[in-house]
Amino acid sequence: MPIPFEFWVHHAIFYALLFLIHYACGLLVIHRNVKVNYTRKVNHFAFFFLPSLLSLIIEYPYSPATFLIDLIGAFVFLTCFIKPMRNNSRVLSVMFSSFDRPEDRPFTLVWLYTQFIASYLVLIPLLIYFESREMLPLVMIIIIANGIGDGLAEPVGIRFGKKKYSTYALFTKQQYVRSYLGSACVFVTTVIAILAFQQYFSATQLLAALLVMPILITLAEAFSPHTWDSPLIYAAGGVSLISVFHYL
């Protein structure tokens, strides 16, 4: 199946806007001393929301080919920020500043790369499973829990979270902190996401999902390695969602 022209227009605009947002956020970090913890999440929400918003204007049919190109595009985008490239480009260096948290160095890109790969290794089987049962929209519950819930967790926790707990990270013994209020964002977002898709559940399934999924997804976020929330959120959400429909 040929890739539709609308797909290329959609993605050209998407990546142009993504570059601009990263660059603007990088300038805020460098010249206005805005915390990179906040600008990083602006980038996160841009990556999450922009494709859907652009799809309201420029529609194209989804296919395995477009999905594969999406994966390659995201991988190439990250690769733009490897050290040799950003050291030779002021623009890329500024953009990198928008998500390079000091506490993540020197693993910033390593953690992003590995999280990206692990996330899709979990997400792709879930997409295939729910597509085969004509329930693909339910995957959005997990994606929303991660995209919005986890996206809010860090800035809300930094700004308002008083009670903290520690977590670990890959390839280092350094401890990192998260807040209970930030984790609560994941819990509340998951509940709202489930209710938004309640038409796909029976009454018993809905009750079970509300009792089990928010807790498991919140625990997955809480105990996941630093910057590695996504694959564990997808795994916990996917397993719990499949269990609800399998046993009820």
Q: Does residue 209 form part of some domain?
A: yes
Q: Does residue 30 form part of some domain?
A: yes
Could you tell me which of 233, 117, 229 has the C-alpha nearest to residue 176?
229
Domain count, the chain: 2
* 24 plus 122 within the same structural domain: no
* 129 plus 247 within the same structural domain: yes
Position 1 scores a pLDDT of: 62
Where a domain ends, among 100, 133, 159? 100
Q: Amino acid identity of 241?
A: L
Rounded CA separation 234/121 (Å): 10
* 32 plus 132 within the same structural domain: no
Position 190 scores a pLDDT of: 97
**What is the pTM assigned to this prediction?**
0.92
Does the N-terminal peptide bond of residue 106 adopt cis geometry, omega within 30 degrees of 0? yes
Q: What is the pLDDT of residues 157-182, one digit of tens each?
A: 888 988 999 998 988 888 888 999 99
Could you tell me which of 135, 143, 185, 141 has the C-alpha nearest to residue 160?
185
CA angle 23, 28, 31 (to 5 degrees): 115
* 95 plus 140 within the same structural domain: no
Q: Does residue 112 form part of some domain?
A: no
Q: Does residue 198 form part of some domain?
A: yes
Helix residue ranges, H only, the chain: 5-32, 36-55, 64-79, 83-86, 90-97, 108-132, 139-144, 151-160, 180-196, 203-223, 229-247
The H or E element containing residue 179 is strand 172-179
Q: Amino acid identity of 27?
A: L
* 235 plus 157 within the same structural domain: yes
Rounded CA separation 245/205 (Å): 7
* 40 plus 133 within the same structural domain: no
Q: Does residue 187 form part of some domain?
A: yes
* 69 plus 192 within the same structural domain: no
* 9 plus 73 within the same structural domain: yes
Q: Does residue 113 form part of some domain?
A: no
Q: Does residue 235 form part of some domain?
A: yes
* 157 plus 130 within the same structural domain: yes
* 146 plus 206 within the same structural domain: yes
- The whole domain housing 179 covers 118-248
Q: What is the full per-residue pLDDT of the chain (248 aa) written as tens digits?
A: 688 999 999 999 999 999 999 999 999 999 999 999 999 999 999 999 999 999 999 999 888 899 999 999 999 999 999 999 999 999 999 999 999 999 999 999 999 999 999 999 999 999 999 999 888 899 999 999 999 999 999 999 888 988 999 998 988 888 888 999 999 999 999 999 999 999 999 999 999 999 999 999 999 999 999 999 999 999 999 999 999 998 88
Q: Does residue 110 form part of some domain?
A: no
* 203 plus 135 within the same structural domain: yes
* 131 plus 223 within the same structural domain: yes
